[in-house]
Amino acid sequence: MEQTGATTARTAGSRRSDSPQRTRALGRALGALARPGMLLALIGPLGAGKTELAKGIAEGLGVGTVVNSPTFVLMNEHLGRMPLYHIDAYRLGDPDEARAAGLLDDRQAHGLTVVEWADRLLGVLPAERLELTLTPDSDGGNGRTIEWLATNGEHARLAAETLGAR
């Protein structure tokens, strides 16, 4: 992995989804190949498909319980082949609140952390992550563009294996 000074190599790409099922399937692939300590930062407006993707990720991890947006509790923990920490930052006032609420925790090194509305937390999230930005087509249909940005080699590999290189 090439690194220059303090600059971490970043890899980006994008792909399309044309249905909720497709988005789920992409999530399943991510969940199946994710390694402990990884962080998936989901970004996109209401209804973009963040929770749909998170449900797929949970399925790929072998989580047996129902995964919904943890909007009211901020974080849900599920157990699959490793723990899934599913965070929803929608209601957070500011990033300091995230620390105070215990959303960012050393335990997350042992599981997979998935953050919805991660753009509200980017400054306090660990720097090594895979950002996934979902943008619905403007025609109001089922089309979504999923742009990804990996900030280290491990997350870049996961993205390449599941979402494809650009």
Ligand X SMILES: Nc1ncnc2c1ncn2[C@@H]1O[C@H](COP(=O)(O)OP(=O)(O)O)[C@@H](O)[C@H]1O
Diameter of the chain measured on Cα atoms? 44
Tokens of 21: 């099922």
> Are the beta carbons of 25 and 56 closer than 8 angstroms?
yes
- Binding residues for ligand X, how many (CB under 6 A)? 18
Spell out, one character per residue from 3 to 42, where the chain touches Mg ion: x when CB under 5 A holds, - when not: ----------------------------------------
Query: From the list 78, 86, 120, 144, which residue makes contact with ligand X (rule: CB under 6 A)?
Result: 144
- Cα distance between residue 103 and residue 41, in whole Å: 13
- Span 113-142, contacts to ligand X by CB under 6 A: 116, 142
Strand order in the sheet with 83-88: 11-17, 144-150, 130-136, 39-43, 112-116, 83-88, 75-79
Query: From the list 22, 24, 28, 50, which residue makes contact with Mg ion (rule: CB under 5 A)?
Result: 50
144 binds, among ligand X, Mg ion, none (CB under 5 to 8 A by kind): ligand X
- Span 55-74, contacts to Mg ion by CB under 5 A: 69
Interface with Mg ion includes 51 (CB under 5 A)? yes
Q: Which is nearer to ligand X, 51 or 152 (CB)?
A: 51
Single-letter code of the amino acid located at 113 = T
> Which of 124, 119, 122, 121 is closest to 135 using CA atoms?
119
Provide, rounded to whole angstroms, the least separation between the CB of residue 33 and Mg ion: 22
Piece of the chain touching Mg ion by CB under 5 A; list 49-57, 107-115, 139-147, 154-162 = 49-57
The residue of the chain with the least Cβ separation from ligand X equals 49
Provide, rounded to whole angstroms, the least separation between the CB of residue 9 and ligand X: 28
Nearby residues of 150 by Cβ (< 8 Å), 6 or more positions away: 10, 11, 12, 129, 130, 131, 156, 158, 159
Binding footprint of ligand X on the chain (CB under 6 A): 17-20, 22-23, 44, 46-52, 69, 116, 142, 144
